Structure 1
Amino acid sequence: MVYNIHPINLFRALSLALELSNGGLSHHHWRTAMISSRIGRAMNMKDWQHQILVYTALLHDLGAAANWDERVKLRTFEVEDTIYDHAEIGYRLLKDSPILGMLAVPIRHHHDFYDGSSPSGLSGSQIPLISRIINVADRLDVLIDDDKYILGQKDSVLSRLESLTGIYFDPEVIAALQTCSQQESFWLDLADAAYAQRFFDHMNQYGQIRFNVDDILDIAEIFAKIIDQTSSFTGAHSRNVAMVSSYLAALEGYSKDECKAMQIAGLLHDLGKLAVPKKILEKSENLVPGEFEIIKQHAYYTYRILEQIDEFEVIAEWAAYHHETLDGVGYPFRVQEDHLKMGSRIVAVADIFSALTEERSYRSLLSSSEVKRIMYTMVKHNKIDKRIVKNLFDNLECVYNMVEIKIHA
């Protein structure tokens, strides 16, 4: 199975997951990528370097995605020693990836001080050029106040950056920024919500790449690790859902590649949970209505992110419809039974089973008999597919052997 994907669409979608918050989308990564691109062009970067620069900028805060406190801290200009933590986490997440590994080192050093006073000890040209550019672009975006007119801020923003030239920032990068930022359009594009689409359309000129299913699986594994770090109670949830989904798909006669695609859907089914604060995910008391409404948005965002990736239409549905129900009253799309694909039904069953067999903040571990009772009650009320549930419990020992769950007799 091969996916013909414009890389920029893949990186744009993945970066969107990093922008999720309870208050909406910040587009910090997108704007950092746009600023980085302008600086890179001003420095006459070669096309292949420019591509890697933009892709790295789109994922530069990957290591902070699951840490809400860290994400808030990164939106302030003043640099603390702990700002390097997320850069190191991002590096470790990516360094062994055959697809995203090229971004690992630039991400690791994107907050390094030019004068060598940061923990890495690197200075000047020892710091990757991509890292030096992203450092400037990232801090420039943080300085912009979205509640004020953009052109009224440009002088003060540039002055703040220039004051740290040679200490925090590379003088050559600052010089390139001074050149390209003379155009009012540089600033107005950052304030224009519609410009981002034109920027990404322009990046499509680099064409498509053929990714095989194992390439996509590798990327999905990385993001599953991030997703499952959002709560101390979900350390292996996405991987469990992926394995159970793949196994149940095989029982339904899916091909080897289709089972891997199902695994991808399972790994990414909770991608939208990056929009849900940890205090809600780990709340031990019952959720109040407003909190449950926040929870509901995660499946919506999972779909909206994945649908942006070329040839991901089916995977997007399999992944995002895991809270839809056969009676048509699930969320967030209220999909009716005759439009609910088998893949989505499988992920729904795998998700429920995995959640019920994992420890949660609001309940103790359940016995296997209690899990079975709950799921067959859901079958009775036309919530989940009876045949899939039967396949699951007919092969329960095999399922238990493949996933990371605790079992009560």
Structure 2
Amino acid sequence: MASETDVSEGSRVGRSSRKGLRSLIAEAEIDTRLVGMTAALLIIWIGFDVVTGGLFITPRNLFNLSLQAAAVAVMATGMVLVLVTRNVDLSVGSLLGVLAMVMGAVQVYVLPDILGYGHPLIWVLTLLIGMLLGGLIGLVQGSVVAFGGVPSFIVTLGGLLIWRGAAWWVTEGQTIAPLDDNFNVIGGGVSGTIGPMWSWVIGVLAIVLVIAQLWNARRRRRKFGFPLRPLWAEGMIALLLAAATVAVVATMNAYPLPERIAQQVLEARGVEVAQGQSVELGHGLAVPVLILAGVAIAIALLARRTRFGRHVFAIGGNPDAAELAGVRTRRTVVLVFALMGVLCAVAAAITSARLQAASNDLGTLDELRVIAAAVIGGTSLGGGIGSVIGAVLGAVVMQSLQSGMALVGIAASLQNIVIGLVLILAVYLDRLYQRRK
């Protein structure tokens, strides 16, 4: 039997090792929430892969998972800013539906009569019209919240009903299809990928930009006399991000195109394919994933590197103090809702293009998935705290749960129960985290 001295010594060693680990994490400035979420995502993937007999962690399933998560993740980046300002937008799913219907009607019934069928500008004008309309709707809702004094919960709850009804009214419930071929590229699929070569080019550029960003941040810290992160931590972060980038590109390239499509792609590039020759060509990165990456980077920079972003977080931290400090709080809230509307239009384009059709039920319950993704990603419902990258990971977690349960054969009603429980758990964990902080 161990003596009391041995037990005491063991407990001191355990506490010392835990303290040492916490100090290392703090010294490396690692976001524990992102680490925990990444670990949870890996556990979900491995668990579903074991249950489905190796069907989950495959290039095909992960490619489809990225397409399905893209639209929700795009809206979740905007929802982060909305929640940070102590507001909420319950209308995003219905707004997606009405914008998808409007963009579908414009590109099928209006623009072809003006520009001609298949004109290359149709998809550009369609997307611009959708973004302008989404921004205008967000501007109106934000103005009612900021200048009318109506709680955002009520305004956007009304918007949820209004825009869902308006989505049906656009074509009286008729589905719009087929959509413009160039527009469908936005949704991914066979025609909406960039191929293996360009995927590796973008992957290498992403790694170079990550390293350059880490070096620039270190240089600026040294310039202003701020504490520097240890070199081992800088190297570890760069290595992990580079490895994740390589893994994503390799996985997307490992999912092959149908042989006939691959032959057509090679012939279009001037590569001769002998009759009966077997051809294998990977999909590469999908266009929706690239759009999501661009949106996430833009919103993250907007939130952290601009005056507007600092005002958003100041409002969430203490609205009265922000106003006394000269922040135009009402205008900032209006602009946040307008930006949310623009992102709903982008998500509507991705969703309708992926399905190659626009129907009035698109986006149903997406408002719950978007809010859940943002909260799971570390955005506090109390305002002032939010992470764009965390919201993207939260969207991937949500879609992973849904896709995994579908593969297992769990009924849709039970899937909603699980997602609801995950949302409640995420809010509970957020409360615990805030209490400990």
Give the TM-score of the pair, scaled to structure 1: 0.27
Structure ranking higher on relative contact order (CA contacts 8 Å, 6+ apart): 2
* Larger gyration radius, structure 1 or structure 2: 2
- TM score, norm. by length of structure 2: 0.25
Greater helix share, 1 or 2?
2
